[in-house]
Structure formats: structure tokens, C-alpha cells
Chains A and B, each alone.
Chain A
Amino acid sequence: MKINLQVWRQKNSNTAGKMVEYKLDNISPDMSFLEMFDVLNVELMHKGEEPVAFDHDCREGICGMCSMYINGRAHGPQTGATTCQLHMRSFSDGDTIVVEPWRARAFPVIKDLVVDRTAFDRVVQAGGYVSVNTGSAPDANEIAISREIAEEAMDAAQCIGCGACVAACKNASAMLFVAAKVSHLAVLPQGKPEHLARAEKMVAQMDEEGFGACSFTGACSVECPKSISLDHIARLNREYLGAKLTSTNV
């Protein structure tokens, strides 16, 4: 296949970036999208140019590291998949493909297609956990949890923290990410004791990081590689409202 790539190049967070065009031939349809970038980078290095920096690690759709905005869509044209799970057979010979980094104020560009997503870590640090020290847990079967609840928690818990929801949102809102964590712990009995404070603190941190508001367009859920449902945002809203009504913090 022949591919015409338009890629965002930016030296670092202090310099302006621009789109740069690269032409590739000899691309196999069985290549993954990131392998196509590997090929490009080897070519660039052989020419003495700097390779395109991009985040990637597991290359099997679970670590959440890869993060390309492809032809105007987070993780490209496939749904329910990350960039590393996208293959060139999803494109046609001669296609022009535009590749940008995640765009959000809370995700500043570090270089080329690499952005800083540590805001997500700080949101989790604000309350995305059950406060239990190592060694103090009761027997695992002491609390029965119905299969439905366990499955619902798992639906939310499988968020990979990639940030596609933020990139897809016109407001760069992190509601789906925060909702997934709040929801995962809110439905489980282990998470109940802290559920109100958790919602309140995580939302406060989300706002502080500069993520936008949620206008419920649903783009996040469509682009989410794990197809996390909007229901969790509804639950987050309920948790947050409950927290606010009884809060002594604010």
C-alpha cells in the first residue's frame, strides 16, 4: 500500500508545532498502525532525521499508553480498539492519513504525538481507591457480591486510562474516565464507606486539572476503546449530587 501521512511534529512543549507530510510505500495491510510508524521512523533515522515520538508500550490494547488522533478520531476509525490494535487493512491504498496528538488543555504536548496525562494520576490520587492497608483484609469470601454487581463493576473497572474520552470530547471533559473509577467502586460494597467523599474529591481534582464540563454528547463512550457506557456518567452525577447534599467539605 501507498500511504500519505500528515503528522504533527512539535519539538517540545515550548515550541510551536506543525503538520509535516511523509510518503510511504510498501506498507503491508497486515501491519499494525504503530508498525507503520516504526517503518517511517527507521526511514527517517536513515536519512539522519529525527523519528516521530509517540507513546506505546504493550501493543495489545491494554496498557493505555498509545494515543493517536487519526483522521479526526481518537484511536482512528475502528471502535472498541486502541491505536495499537488498528491495522493498515482499515485504510485503502493511496489514502491520506492525518495524525495528531490528544488535544486538551489538561494534556499538554511533550513532543510530537506524546502528551502529558499525569492529570489522570492526580485525579485517582484524590480518591480513586478503597482505604485498606495491606494485611488488614478479611477473608475474600466473607462479602458475597452478586454476579450482576461484580460484572457491572468490571464493566467500569476495565478503563485503561488512555484519555481517548478527553480527546474525543469537544469540551475535553474527563467525565467518562472519572465516572468509570467512581462507578467501579460505588457499586461494590468495599467502596461504599468512602463513596461520597470519593466522588466529591475526584470531581474537584478533575476541575482543578482544567478538564472541561460534560455536555453529554456521548462522543467519549463511542471512542472509548473499552466501550465504557454513559450509564457510569449518570451514576457519577448521582454520587456527586449525593455527596454535595451532605458534604461538610465545601
Chain B
Amino acid sequence: MKLESKIPEGPLAEKWARHKFGLKLVNPANKRKYEIIVVGTGLAGASAAASLAELGYNVKAFCFQDSPRRAHSIAAQGGINAAKNYQNDGDSVYRLFYDTVKGGDYRAREANVHRLAEVSVNIIDQCVAQGVPFAREYGGLLSNRSFGGAQVSRTFYARGQTGQQLLLGAYSALSRQVATGKVKLYTRSEMLDLVVEGGKARGIITRNLVTGKIESHSGHAVLLCTGGYGNVFYLSTNAMGSNVTAAWRAHKKGALFGNPCFTQIHPTCIPVKGNYQSKLTLMSESLRNDGRVWVPKTVEMAEKVRKGQLKPSAIKEEDRDYFLERRYPSFGNLVPRDVASRNAKYVCDENRGVASTGLAVFLDFADAIKRDGKKTIEAKYGNLFEMYEKITDDNPYETPMMIYPAVHYTMGGLWVDYNLMTTVPGCYALGEANFSDHGANRLGASALMQGLADGYFVIPYTIGDYLATIGPSDKLPADHPAFKQAEAAVNDQIKHLMSLKGKKTAEEIHRELGLIMWDYCGMSRNAEGLKKAKGLIQELRKEFWSNIRITGDADELNQALELAGRVADFIELGALMVDDALNREESCGGHFREEFQTEDGEAQRDDANFAYVAAWEYKGENQPEVLHKEELVFENVKLTQRSYK
């Protein structure tokens, strides 16, 4: 298989414009003859479904939640980047492009990232027109903040609920199209297979989560907008329902999986408390703008803090180690997420962590409150402080917050070409579900930008090229044998799961998988640990398929059955992540291999040998996956060691 990225020729800044002109168009009268399936209704899915329906296509939109408005994009707090340069501080499309390629540690495609930066400005226009209540200055114009280590203020935000407001904007556009009849909505429906026939994606198999009915849906193209796979770690900031099943089953039908080991561990989350814990809560990164991260200088003092014998406020200034400010004087507490997370891990590994578990560092606002006053801090972070207090019962105005890194986002995902098409013709992947724009590390406020860029401003152009090529008649009826066969396979798997009647719940196995992934394929990785993880995952997989227990029936609402199917796929994905992490013998972005670091403990890339996208091909049950490489070509950016000192 040869990977064709379809990156257009020409100068960087002209690539997208030229490419758009070269794409075939579908005649307006013909658009109504096409049916497009959109799976997932987060920022990418809702914006794509609405925009395609506005163009005149017929759309079927699916989500597993009870309403499209609940997709996990809703939980994004901080903001969305756009190269508007409203603040006159030197921002530009090129700077946003440059920052994103650099932030991704040079493992993303230049052309994709430049396009993302170009359309970022249109996204803000579109959202404001929909009524998204972004924060404003007293003069009535839009407010911006600096976010996630950027040295310009390009982040637009709506309090700490930016993702919510953007999603509700896309949801309202989607709802408008549902009302016109151009979008048919299927809620509480989970995609369980991709139907491929004659080398093209033909539709999907779904399970109606209320009745348990297995259904076939045929279309001219399938868009997977199904988010990331952070829940492979069990504990993450993802929603409980976030899963890899749709993407994974497309992978097994021929869609290559790109850079699966690239996961983002977010530095500012509320630490784990007990073994009953079901998820981790993110505290917005914006807190690092004013909060100072520290731990006690000595192990002895940290020990006392952990035992509750010493209050953090009683620790003198000279006994504190503001480790980010010390190691990175120019960026300080605002270093990128991967760097901040790794350094928190280091100090905890040195036994200087706080909280009873020793797995936490302080995020302290005392200085900011002294400098700006409690009122100002409250106006900026009030809702976040409240959220923190609700969960931990600690008041961050009086005692420093405690934070620890947690799995937050997955840069890896289905491999797509410049048109966002996977290696299965007619099957596309948008938003977090694809691998394309964030390289090995995503910068803050870039996920919302990418989801909406793909849905509002990329897919409406690129899909036409494919549809015009195949023509309206190239669609299978939903009772075609290819659908029947896929339905039967889905039914068999469900029957098999229900018949096992073992001793463990899917949740228990999921927790075990999460621990393996976190310990050996988490914030830092080494060959020995990864090899060990491989064996452990294999054993766990065997146990899953012999010892799982699902009560209730398959032909009704059965949340345990839903989870079991997802965990089965997470286990297989976990094995691939480990293989990918083993293969990548370098450190880059969120992927830190302990064997490959500089003298002062920073990530050591190997551009000569690893400046490629690792795209994995599924070869069948229990067969090793085959690696394909897409070499990354950098024509505009010079590859340098990322330095935040």
C-alpha cells in the first residue's frame, strides 16, 4: 500500500487556495441525490453535518448520547485560537502555523497546519454570527487571552465554557437543518461497523441503544467524527462514553491508524484520590497564567505535607521549588503541556510530590491574589475555583490547589490525506478522530479550532471531489449482502459477549487495561516496560474473552454490553499503541522514550530516522499490524530542538 497524502504543490500559503480550485464540484441540483453519513456530533461532526446539509446534501447524523448537544467537545474550557491579530501583537496566519508545527514537535504536516491557521479566522466569524457569546472588551469588541504558552494573545473564549458555547453554536446550526429535513438525526445509536464493498465505504452498521436493534445505513460517504481514544487509559479527562469503537472498526476494515502512541497528558488536572475513581477532571490550563507550580525543596518536608503535619502556606519561600520557573526561566509556568506534565512527574518520582498519594504538585495563587486582589482572580477563575472546591473540598483562595497530569487528548488517529479521507475511499475522519494537525503534541486552544476547521471549512470542499467522481448512482441499497454480512458479524460478536457469563465486569478489565497503559505507555516509556506491557495486554485480552460477565439482555438498553464492546476495542488499540511506542525510537512531544533524552532530560528527537507518520495496517485477528511510513517534508520550517528555556 502506498500512502498518498495528496498535499498540493506550490508555495505553502497558496496550497489550499490552489487545491480548492482544482477540486471537482457537485452541481447544486445533484447535491440532493447524495446521502452522507456523519458519525459523532461534536464540533467536527455537528459542524460538518450542518454545513453539508446547507449545501444541499442529505445527511444522516449519529450519536450515542441522548442528544447531539452532549458530545464531549462540550467540556473544553479554555478557548479557541485564531490568527485574527485583533490585539496588534504580531500574530499572523504564518505565526499560528509556525507555533503549531513547532508545538507539535515537527511531527505534523506543514500543509495541513497552514490550512488550519488560514481558516481559523473564518471560524470565529462563523461562531459569532451564530450567536456564540465570546468574551468582550468594554468597547464591545472581542477579547483575547494568551493561552497554553503562546506569546501572542490569540485565544477567544467564553468564560471557562468555550467548548460548550461553540458546540451549542454548531448544534443550533445542526438543529436548523434537522428542521428543514436535510439532516436526519439518530440519537442513542452506536456505530459498530463500517461497510466496505468494492473498495469503497458504503455505510455503517449501528446498534439502537434503546431497543438493541442492529441496523444498516447506506450512504455515498461516511464521516467519522468520533473523537479521541484517551479512555484507553480508563482514567482520563474524557467523558465516560468517549470510545474508539467506530474508528477502530473502520481500522479493521482497512483504514490505517496514524501515530497511535501520540497521547497528550494534560498537566493541570485534579489528582487521583481513590480506587473507586471513575474519571479525572481537568482544570483549565489558563490557571497557569497566574498560578505558580511548586513542590517542597526537600523530601523530608514533602513527607510532612503528605502526612498532613505541615501546611503548604507554612512553607517558607526559600523552601519551595518553583521547578518550572527554575528550569525554564523564559516560559516559566507556561511551558507546553508535555513539558509541564513530565516535570511534574519528575519531582514526584523524586519523592517530593504532595497529597496523601505523593502524586500531586501545588498550583499556588497566593502571589497572584496579593498582586491583583482577590476580586480580579475571582473574575478570571471563579468558576474553576468553585469546581475545584466542589470536588476536593479545599478552598483554593486559601490553600494552594493540587494538580497532577492526566490523559486528555490523543493526537494520533485514523490516517487521512489532505482531503481528510482515510485509506478507505469514501470514509473520512475529522477532528480528534484523525491524526493530522497536532503532530506529537497539541497546543492549548487548538482542538476546538481543528474540529471546527475540518467540519465547517474543509470537508464541504473536499468531499465534493469524491462524490463528483463516483456519481450519484454509486450507492448500495441497505439490504445488499455486504450489509447483511456486516450485520451478522456484529450480531455474532454481541451474542458471543452475552454468552461468556464469566466473573469480571467489563469495567474491572477496563481499569486493569488503564493501569497497564498508564504505567508503561504513559508520560514516559522505555523498551523494557513496553515489552512487558505487550505481554500483559495479551493476557488481559484472553481474560476478557473468557471471563467477562454481562447481565441483562441484548435487545434492550444495556449499558454493560455497550461498555464491553468498547473495552474489547480498547484492548486491541492498547496493543497497537504499545507497538507504535516501541517502534518510535526517539522522544518527541507527548511521546517520551527514556532512552532518548538530552543531557538535561529534555526530549531528544531523531529527525533523520523518525520524521515520519507511522500508519499501521490491520492484517487480521492476532496478526501483527504492518507499518507504513509517510515521510514528513519540511519546506518552510527549520527543525530545531524545542527550547522553552
B153-186 with Cβ < 8 A to chain A: 158-159, 161, 164-165, 168, 171-173, 175-176, 178-179, 185
* Highest count of chain B CB atoms <10 Å: which of A35, A62, A131, A185: A62
B601 within 8 A of A: no
Instruction: Say how far A58's CB is from chain B's closest CB, in angstroms.
Output: 4
With A30-B274, A63-B239, A134-B457: A144-B178 Cβ-Cβ less than 8 Å:
no
A41 and B563 CA atoms in complex are apart in Å by 13
B628 within 8 A of A: no
The answer to whether A134 touches B172, judged by C-beta atoms less than 8 angstroms apart, is no
Q: Could you say which residues of chain B place their CB within 8 Å of the CB of A56?
A: 240
The answer to whether A31 touches B276, judged by C-beta atoms less than 8 angstroms apart, is yes
The answer to whether B175 touches A124, judged by C-beta atoms less than 8 angstroms apart, is yes
The answer to whether B179 touches A125, judged by C-beta atoms less than 8 angstroms apart, is yes
B281 in complex: contacting residue of A49, A60, A114, A136, CB < 8 Å? A60
Instruction: Say how far B456's CB is from chain A's closest CB, in angstroms.
Output: 5
The answer to whether B171 touches A124, judged by C-beta atoms less than 8 angstroms apart, is yes
A12 in complex: contacting residue of B133, B556, B560, CB < 8 Å? B556
A129 in complex: contacting residue of B135, B172, B210, CB < 8 Å? B172
* B160 (CB) vs chain A CBs: closest residue: A62
The answer to whether B560 touches A118, judged by C-beta atoms less than 8 angstroms apart, is no
Instruction: Say how far A1's CB is from chain B's closest CB, in angstroms.
Output: 12
The answer to whether B172 touches A124, judged by C-beta atoms less than 8 angstroms apart, is yes
With A45-B505, A65-B66, A145-B140: A35-B130 Cβ-Cβ less than 8 Å:
no
Instruction: Say how far A67's CB is from chain B's closest CB, in angstroms.
Output: 9
B5-20 with Cβ < 8 A to chain A: none
B298 within 8 A of A: no
* A188 (CB) vs chain B CBs: closest residue: B131
With A57-B70, A121-B67: A190-B130 Cβ-Cβ less than 8 Å:
yes
A170 within 8 A of B: no
A138 in complex: contacting residue of B129, B274, B279, B550, CB < 8 Å? B129
B126 within 8 A of A: yes
Q: Could you say which residues of chain B place their CB within 8 Å of the CB of A150?
A: 133-136
Q: Could you say which residues of chain B place their CB within 8 Å of the CB of A126?
A: 179
The answer to whether B240 touches A190, judged by C-beta atoms less than 8 angstroms apart, is no
A235 within 8 A of B: no
A135 and B455 CA atoms in complex are apart in Å by 12
**Of the 9-residue stretches A151-159, A207-215, A242-250, which lies at the interface with chain B?**
A151-159
Instruction: Say how far B98's CB is from chain A's closest CB, in angstroms.
Output: 23
A50 within 8 A of B: yes
Q: Could you say which residues of chain A place their CB within 8 Å of the CB of B135?
A: 150
Chain B contributes a number of interface residues (CB within 8 A of A) equal to 80
B239 in complex: contacting residue of A58, A117, A136, CB < 8 Å? A58
The answer to whether B159 touches A154, judged by C-beta atoms less than 8 angstroms apart, is yes
The answer to whether B74 touches A63, judged by C-beta atoms less than 8 angstroms apart, is yes
B124 in complex: contacting residue of A59, A114, A134, A140, CB < 8 Å? A140
A57 and B274 CA atoms in complex are apart in Å by 20
A144 in complex: contacting residue of B140, B210, B278, B503, CB < 8 Å? B140
* A60 (CB) vs chain B CBs: closest residue: B281
**Of the 9-residue stretches A68-76, A81-89, A93-101, which lies at the interface with chain B?**
A81-89
Q: Could you say which residues of chain B place their CB within 8 Å of the CB of A58?
A: 70, 72, 74-75, 239-240
Q: Could you say which residues of chain B place their CB within 8 Å of the CB of A145?
A: 136, 140
B89 within 8 A of A: no
**Of the 9-residue stretches B251-259, B325-333, B363-371, B387-395, which lies at the interface with chain A?**
B387-395
Q: Could you say which residues of chain B place their CB within 8 Å of the CB of A11?
A: 556
A35 and B272 CA atoms in complex are apart in Å by 13
The answer to whether B125 touches A137, judged by C-beta atoms less than 8 angstroms apart, is yes
* Highest count of chain A CB atoms <10 Å: which of B84, B133, B505: B133
B142 within 8 A of A: yes
A62 and B158 CA atoms in complex are apart in Å by 14
A217 within 8 A of B: no
A49 and B552 CA atoms in complex are apart in Å by 8
* B124 (CB) vs chain A CBs: closest residue: A140
Q: Could you say which residues of chain A place their CB within 8 Å of the CB of B187?
A: 118, 121
Instruction: Say how far A243's CB is from chain B's closest CB, in angstroms.
Output: 18
Q: Could you say which residues of chain A place their CB within 8 Å of the CB of B134?
A: 140, 150
Q: Could you say which residues of chain A place their CB within 8 Å of the CB of B279?
A: 59-60
The answer to whether A32 touches B173, judged by C-beta atoms less than 8 angstroms apart, is no
The answer to whether A134 touches B240, judged by C-beta atoms less than 8 angstroms apart, is no
Q: Could you say which residues of chain B place their CB within 8 Å of the CB of A62?
A: 74-75, 161, 164
The answer to whether B508 touches A42, judged by C-beta atoms less than 8 angstroms apart, is yes
Q: Could you say which residues of chain B place their CB within 8 Å of the CB of A146?
A: 136, 138, 140
A218 within 8 A of B: no
* Highest count of chain B CB atoms <10 Å: which of A32, A63, A136: A63
A165 within 8 A of B: no
The answer to whether B131 touches A64, judged by C-beta atoms less than 8 angstroms apart, is no
The answer to whether A188 touches B185, judged by C-beta atoms less than 8 angstroms apart, is no
B125 in complex: contacting residue of A51, A78, A129, A139, CB < 8 Å? A139
The answer to whether A140 touches B84, judged by C-beta atoms less than 8 angstroms apart, is yes
With A53-B557, A56-B240: A131-B276 Cβ-Cβ less than 8 Å:
no
* A80 (CB) vs chain B CBs: closest residue: B386
The answer to whether A30 touches B273, judged by C-beta atoms less than 8 angstroms apart, is yes
A53 and B125 CA atoms in complex are apart in Å by 41
User: Can you show 19 pairs from A to B with CB atoms below 8 A apart?
Assistant: A30-B274, A44-B551, A55-B66, A57-B241, A64-B67, A64-B69, A85-B391, A121-B67, A121-B185, A128-B175, A132-B130, A134-B460, A136-B129, A146-B140, A150-B136, A157-B133, A158-B165, A185-B131, A191-B131
Q: Which residues of B contact A (CB under 8 A)?
A: 47, 50-51, 54, 65-70, 72, 74-75, 84, 86, 122, 124-131, 133-142, 158-159, 161, 164-165, 168, 171-173, 175-176, 178-179, 185, 187, 210, 239-241, 273-274, 276-279, 281-282, 387, 390-391, 393, 456-457, 460, 503, 505, 507-508, 549-552, 556-557, 559-560
19 additional A-B residue pairs with CB within 8 Å, beyond A58-B70, A120-B67, A134-B126: A31-B276, A34-B278, A59-B240, A62-B74, A62-B161, A63-B65, A63-B74, A85-B387, A85-B390, A89-B393, A121-B178, A125-B179, A133-B54, A134-B457, A144-B141, A147-B136, A154-B158, A158-B159, A184-B131
Q: Which residues of A contact B (CB under 8 A)?
A: 11-12, 28, 30-32, 34-35, 38-39, 41-42, 44-46, 48-51, 53, 55-65, 78, 81, 85, 87, 89, 110-111, 114, 116-118, 120-121, 124-126, 128-141, 143-147, 150-151, 153-154, 157-158, 160-161, 184-185, 188, 190-191
**Shortest 5 CB-CB distances between A and B: which pairs?**
A144-B140, A137-B129, A129-B172, A137-B125, A153-B133
